Amino acid sequence: MYCITCKPIVEKQLKDEKAIQRIDIDYMTDSVIVEFNSSLITREEIKNRLEKSGYKFVRTTSASS
């Protein structure tokens, strides 16, 4: 993700999902941070939705509390 046109594409894939709490796109690090309720949606489901838009995942990480 390196341009501003990516943001609406990502948001479109996840916007109707109540489990998504926040989407933060960092163009400097070429990454997307998605905060979500893991009891309502899985990381794999998020990944699958975004891959449908043509994005390739290099890695996924979890935030530690």
CATH code for position 38: 3.30.70.100
Half-sphere exposure of 42 (CA within 13 A, CB side): 3
pLDDT tens series, the chain, 65 aa: 556 777 787 788 887 778 888 888 887 777 788 888 999 999 889 888 888 878 777 666 666 54
Is 40 within the bounds of a domain? yes
- What backbone phi and psi angles, to 5 degrees, belong to 2? -135, 5
What pLDDT is attached to residue 65?
A: 45
Is 60 within the bounds of a domain? no
What pLDDT is attached to residue 58?
A: 67
| DSSP string covering 3-44 | STTHHHHHHHHHTT-TTEEEEEEETTTTEEEEEE-TTT--HH
DSSP structure class, residue 63: -
Half-sphere exposure of 58 (CA within 13 A, CB side): 5
Domain hosting 29: range is 6-51
Q: Model's pTM, two decimal places?
A: 0.69
Is 64 within the bounds of a domain? no
Is 20 within the bounds of a domain? yes
Is 63 within the bounds of a domain? no
